[in-house]
């Protein structure tokens, strides 16, 4: 029997078939087309939903080598309310995805370092919190604000018990030096908790481990940590509100 005649007979028989038989026929012949169509619809819907529902970040903090505790969402909501950010229009992000060991060349450290550089270079990074060995590298390279330039005297007094200092001559020496892998710059970095031993101390951050408003909700890593505000942040007002929130 010619193929077309056979196909015509199947069509005629299908007209007389039950609903269940029609469904089985359709599934047998068209199941992969259907699966592909459904997959395309799901992907398209997901993409459209993400585009439509995506929000700009009004605040972005990177907690490097840290982790969110089970109750971290309580902290996020409390800070959002304190800062007056409309969470229907904007995102408040505490990113704990970056795991970075200073000087390490492992894949995770390299990827995290690239992400950190990318976010900071476009001004998306409002707070950087990291273990002190890593934080020191950034703090001594004019990466953070001098807090005296952006905080009121009252806010400085509130932050005073936690202040992290760098010494201006050391920072300048670091910038002028040209270290290599085989010959790192032999510049001694003073104790950031002892401004009285520095020539020209600059408060660029806060020691974070005693900030229970933060540490009750976020694990800051196995080492002592510090945090600061990058000088090219786009959300300076909210970054300042974060400092006042965690030092209340």
Residue spans per domain, the chain: 3-52, 56-246
Whether the model pTM is above 0.85: no
Closest CA to 162 of 244, 236, 93, 219: 244
Rounded mean pLDDT, 7-21: 57
Q: Determine the pLDDT at residue 109.
A: 84
Angle between helices 3-15 and 19-53 (to 10 degrees): 90
Distances (CA, A) of 175 to 90, 139, 171, 236: 37, 12, 6, 25
Round to whole Å and give the CA distance between 139 and 116. 14
Mean per-residue pLDDT for 169-173? Answer: 92
How would residue 52 be classed by pLDDT, with cut points 50, 70 and 90? very low
* 137 pLDDT more than 80: yes
pLDDT tens, position by position, 92-128: 999 999 998 766 677 888 888 889 989 999 999 999 9
Fold of domain 56-246: D-Maltodextrin-Binding Protein; domain 2 (3.40.190)
Q: How do residues 83-94 score in pLDDT, each as one tens digit?
A: 999 989 999 999
């Amino acid at each position: 029997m010619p193929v077309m005649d056979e196909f015509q007979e199947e069509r005629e028989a299908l007209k007389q078939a039950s609903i269940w038989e029609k469904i089985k026929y359709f599934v047998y012949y068209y199941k992969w087309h259907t699966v592909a169509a459904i997959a395309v619809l799901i992907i398209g819907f997901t993409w459209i939903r993400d585009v439509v529902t995506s929000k700009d970040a009004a605040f972005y903090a990177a907690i490097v080598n840290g982790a969110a505790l089970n109750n971290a969402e309580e902290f996020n909501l409390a800070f959002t309310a304190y800062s007056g950010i409309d969470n229907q229009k904007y995102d408040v992000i505490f990113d704990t995805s970056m795991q970075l060991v200073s000087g390490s060349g492992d894949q995770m450290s390299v990827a995290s370092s690239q992400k950190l550089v990318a976010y900071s270079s476009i001004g998306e990074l409002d707070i950087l919190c990291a273990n002190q060995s890593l934080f020191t590298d950034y703090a001594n390279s004019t990466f953070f604000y001098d807090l005296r330039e952006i905080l009121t005297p009252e806010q400085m007094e509130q932050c005073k018990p936690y202040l992290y200092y760098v010494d201006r001559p050391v920072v300048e020496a670091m910038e002028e030096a040209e270290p290599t892998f085989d010959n790192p710059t032999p510049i001694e970095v003073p104790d950031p908790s002892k401004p009285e031993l520095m020539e020209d101390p600059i408060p660029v951050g806060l020691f974070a481990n005693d900030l229970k408003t933060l540490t009750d909700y976020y694990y800051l890593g196995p080492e002592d940590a510090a945090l600061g505000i990058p000088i090219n942040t786009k959300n300076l007002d909210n970054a300042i509100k974060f400092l006042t929130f965690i030092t209340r």
